[in-house]
A and B are shown apart, each in its own frame.
Chain A
Amino acid sequence: MSQVETRTGAEAQATRAVELVDCDVHAQATEAMLAKYLSAPARRMLERYGRRTPRVTEWYPRARNAGMRVDAWPGKPGHIWGSDPETTREQLLDEFGVDYAVLEVLSGQDCYDHPDFAAEWNSAVNQWQVDEWLGFDSRFLGTIAVPHEYPDLAVAEIERRAGDERFVAVLLPASAAEQLGARKYWPIYEAATAHGRPVAFHTGGYVDHRGAGYPSFYLDYHVGNGIVMQTQLASMVAGGMFEAIPGLRVVLTECGLAWAAALIWSLDSAWELMREDVPRLQRSPSEYVRDHVWFTTQPIEEPDDPRHLVYAIEQARLEDRLLFATDYPHWDFDSPKQALPRALGPSLRRSVLYENALSLYGLPAERPA
């Protein structure tokens, strides 16, 4: 902070040191906003039959304000929460001094779409980011939406967008038709890695609560997002994708982080007992997690004693693996000013607020002021 203030003259005019990267911001397109990018047959299909995937908000309705921040409705014709870059700039970038905001557009994340439609739809999501957001303010960064159930089509979309450096990651849902460690999806991970992009898995997607069965309430569903990601991480490790794709970096988004240590202990203990079940693994599960996995912070766990959060971070060795996120414009927005407890200390706070993200995404540490 003082760094900027003590700068003088032209230099201070030119650049500003990055101090806050928000790694999970929701831009949300209406169907009409995306429909204009579709081919005539795809548009007709959308108009006449719609998308058959029930929205997760229909399965688990949010009991207040549709799960959004009360103040985030843009009040402009044709706009909804998160669809207007001007509102997001005002309420997030300017208000909190966000230097970079990584957009995660969830509109393409369902898996029931026909492959031809899914390819067009996700490409529309990406072109909409380019046209409406990335050029609007250079603080907005994109993630590449892909038709993940059709890896060949997903790879084609990654290749289409990879030349645009403003797309900093490839976006997948945290739930898909198969577990995310399944070999089916590896071509997507390989393409992302070949193009220097991490893969961000965002909570949501195909909602199918097997295991314990379907919960009744949004409360269980929402807390359960962290539980789903635990089994996904187990799948990623046990399936061997980190062994097969050594440069792969994954970002587990909006699923919490404090559970990581217990899962790692469990995976390591199990691996000691049953290595012959997973002969591909050359190292302990904790080493793969350590080398390949990042976590966004929101919704950050809130123990009564904030020191316990520090314990949880240290136990899993996540100090350089945590990425700050607000989840704007959702109801459980974590404020950059309040969400990180003082117990983290200044060095860890800096790591979480921007250093880790700059390093992961290869972003410049200074930006135009």
Chain B
Amino acid sequence: MRGAIDCDVHCAPASFDALFPYLSDYWRQYISEAGIRLNGLAFAYPSGVAGSVPSSYDALADAVLTKSGDEVVVVNCLTGFETHRNPYFSAAVASALNDWMLEQILAHDDRLRASLVVSPVSTDDAVSEIERVGEDPRFVQVLLPVRSDLPWGHKNNHALFAAASSRAMQIGLHAWGRAGKAATPSGFTTTYLEDYVGNQPIAQAQVLSFVSEGVFERFPELRVVVAECGFAWLAPLLWRFDKDWKGVWREVPWVKRRPSEYVREHFRFTTAPAHLPSDGALLDQLLEMMGGAGMLVYASDYPHQHGDGLPALLDRLSEPERRSVLWDTAAELYQVA
């Protein structure tokens, strides 16, 4: 789309071969002898629902960049969400992915930004990776999977937020991750549909965690961009969160204001998936409940498909609101001039 900051476009190496130049002999052997392959997150994006993810700059440019050039694209490489649990391997893969992203993708076009891949299983390693390459302004945020072993707001993760925040990086919290554990708080699922929809309730739990653990009191500059987890659920969640906080605030004395205030200031949500009512009047109600579209940032989520909710949403917005969703809110977030 022209004149937009696209906050979630996918790009990933086609195989480990593409990462070999950025991996040590030890890990090249480990990968070769174990016969590990990048499976492209097949559990998250089976062939029945997803197009193929670009694996080179040319493919990416063909798909999402225009000749007119008045756009900015944030590239998210989800390869760091693969299933393996070895923290040393996870850290090595994260570094290789970031080096690959810099050389193979970002170097070709100054309209591109990227999320920094970090190990999702070791805060120490995530901090080291932020320290290693996080000074590069093209890495605008640290990418975390919405599925986690511990909710991300937990104090064990605060060093990661300190490292990001001190470099003016945000947190990108993206759908999926951590296959092999139950996808939902109620247990293992038996359909893809539940896994797919399940990203939204999991994101809700993460929103609660960031606020209740006091992350934004400690890191007032930090913002969290929730990608590919929807947003229609937000208003009712905050009604309940505020109500409960009024009753049990003693448990979390560092939460000094209503939870909804922290969320409105510190969270942004991509417009994917826009699972919305087809009735325009209901859509207006929903936007009113959310206090407007101020927390939304545009994402095509290429190559993932979520139905036709996004164009309907953009059509329904006033022109100033549409500009803020397409450009202004993300420009402020990612310091795009």
Chain A residues with a Cβ under 8 A of chain B = 62-64, 174-182, 208-220, 222-224, 226-228, 230-232, 234-235, 238-239, 256, 258-259, 261-263, 265-274, 276-278, 299, 301-303, 308-309, 311-312, 315, 331-332
What 10 pairs across the A-B complex have the smallest Cβ distances?
Answer: A258-B236, A210-B182, A231-B184, A212-B205, A301-B239, A262-B232, A269-B275, A262-B233, A266-B275, A220-B208
Across-interface contacts of A266 in B (CB, < 8 A): 197, 200, 230, 232-233, 273, 275
Q: Which of B192, B212, B250 contacts A274 (CB 8 A)?
A: B192
Distance (whole angstroms) from the CB of B232 to the closest CB of chain A = 4
Distance (whole angstroms) from the CB of A349 to the closest CB of chain B = 19
Across-interface contacts of B273 in A (CB, < 8 A): 266, 269
A119 to B235, CA, bound (A): 42
A213 to B232, CA, bound (A): 23
A207 to B224, CA, bound (A): 27
Instruction: Report B137-158 residues with CB < 8 Å from chain A CB.
Output: 146-152, 154-155
Across-interface contacts of A176 in B (CB, < 8 A): 187
Q: Is the CB of B193 within 8 A of A278?
A: yes
Across-interface contacts of B83 in A (CB, < 8 A): none
Q: Is the CB of A213 within 8 A of B190?
A: no
Q: Say if the beta carbon of B135 comes within 8 Å of chain A.
A: no
A213 to B200, CA, bound (A): 15
Q: Knowing A179-B184, A212-B209, A332-B247, say if A270 contacts B146 (CB, 8 Å).
A: no
Q: Which of A230, A256, A265 contacts B277 (CB 8 A)?
A: A265
Q: Which of B148, B184, B236, B251 contacts A301 (CB 8 A)?
A: B236
Q: Say if the beta carbon of B27 comes within 8 Å of chain A.
A: no
Distance (whole angstroms) from the CB of B254 to the closest CB of chain A = 11
Q: Is the CB of A182 within 8 A of B198?
A: no
Q: Is the CB of A278 within 8 A of B191?
A: yes
A174 to B277, CA, bound (A): 27
Across-interface contacts of A309 in B (CB, < 8 A): 239
Contact flags (1/0) for B300-323 with A, using CB distance below 8 Å? 000001110100000000000000
Across-interface contacts of A64 in B (CB, < 8 A): 248, 250
Chain B residues with a Cβ under 8 A of chain A = 48-49, 146-152, 154-155, 181-194, 196-198, 200-202, 204-206, 208-209, 212-213, 230, 232-233, 235-237, 239-245, 247-248, 250-252, 273, 275-277, 282, 285-286, 288-289, 305-307, 309
Q: Is the CB of A216 within 8 A of B212?
A: yes
A178 to B182, CA, bound (A): 10
Apart from the given pairs A179-B190, A212-B202, A263-B233, 19 other A-B contacts in the complex at a CB distance below 8 Å: A179-B184, A208-B187, A210-B184, A220-B205, A220-B209, A224-B205, A228-B186, A231-B198, A234-B198, A235-B184, A235-B186, A261-B277, A262-B230, A269-B276, A273-B306, A301-B243, A302-B243, A311-B286, A315-B277
A186 to B156, CA, bound (A): 41
A39 to B191, CA, bound (A): 42
Q: Is the CB of B252 within 8 A of A303?
A: no
Q: Is the CB of B240 within 8 A of A217?
A: no
A290 to B151, CA, bound (A): 33
Q: Which of B49, B192, B240 contacts A226 (CB 8 A)?
A: B240
11 A–B contacts from the bound complex (CB under 8 Å): A64-B248, A214-B151, A216-B212, A217-B212, A220-B205, A235-B187, A235-B190, A238-B189, A258-B236, A261-B277, A278-B193
Q: Is the CB of B49 within 8 A of A222?
A: no
Q: Is the CB of B252 within 8 A of A258?
A: no
Q: Is the CB of A274 within 8 A of B276?
A: no
Q: Knowing A218-B251, A223-B241, A308-B235, say if A235 contacts B230 (CB, 8 Å).
A: no
Across-interface contacts of B194 in A (CB, < 8 A): 231, 234-235, 238
A208 to B309, CA, bound (A): 33
Q: Which of A62, A63, A177, A263 contacts B187 (CB 8 A)?
A: A177
Q: Is the CB of A215 within 8 A of B189?
A: no
Across-interface contacts of A278 in B (CB, < 8 A): 191, 193
Q: Is the CB of B151 within 8 A of A213?
A: yes
A91 to B213, CA, bound (A): 36
Q: Is the CB of A210 within 8 A of B191?
A: no
Across-interface contacts of B149 in A (CB, < 8 A): 213
A182 to B151, CA, bound (A): 26
Distance (whole angstroms) from the CB of A289 to the closest CB of chain B = 13
Q: Which of A180, A210, A269 contacts B309 (CB 8 A)?
A: A269
Q: Is the CB of B251 within 8 A of A217?
A: yes
Q: Knowing A215-B151, A219-B251, say if A182 contacts B289 (CB, 8 Å).
A: no
Q: Is the CB of B48 within 8 A of A219?
A: no
Q: Is the CB of B236 within 8 A of A259?
A: yes
Q: Is the CB of B305 within 8 A of A277?
A: no
Q: Which of A256, A265, A273 contacts B49 (CB 8 A)?
A: A273
Across-interface contacts of A215 in B (CB, < 8 A): 151, 205, 208-209, 212
Q: Is the CB of A303 within 8 A of B235?
A: yes
Distance (whole angstroms) from the CB of B65 to the closest CB of chain A = 26
> Which single residue of chain B is at the shortest CB-CB distance from A221?
B208
Across-interface contacts of A258 in B (CB, < 8 A): 235-236, 239-240
Q: Is the CB of B183 within 8 A of A210?
A: yes
A265 to B307, CA, bound (A): 12
Distance (whole angstroms) from the CB of B249 to the closest CB of chain A = 8
Across-interface contacts of A232 in B (CB, < 8 A): 186
Question: Which interface residue of B241, B276, B289 has the most chain A CB atoms within 10 A?
Answer: B289
> Which single residue of chain A is at the shortest CB-CB distance from B307?
A269
Distance (whole angstroms) from the CB of B328 to the closest CB of chain A = 25
Q: Is the CB of A231 within 8 A of B245?
A: no
A220 to B236, CA, bound (A): 15
Q: Is the CB of A224 within 8 A of B185?
A: yes
Distance (whole angstroms) from the CB of A303 to the closest CB of chain B = 5
A324 to B186, CA, bound (A): 25
Across-interface contacts of A211 in B (CB, < 8 A): 147, 182-185, 198, 201-202, 205
Q: Which of A216, A228, A299, A302 contacts B185 (CB 8 A)?
A: A228
A228 to B146, CA, bound (A): 16
Across-interface contacts of B212 in A (CB, < 8 A): 215-217, 219-220
Q: Is the CB of A265 within 8 A of B235?
A: no
> Which single residue of chain B is at the shortest CB-CB distance from A232?
B186
Q: Knowing A64-B250, A273-B305, say if A267 contacts B197 (CB, 8 Å).
A: yes
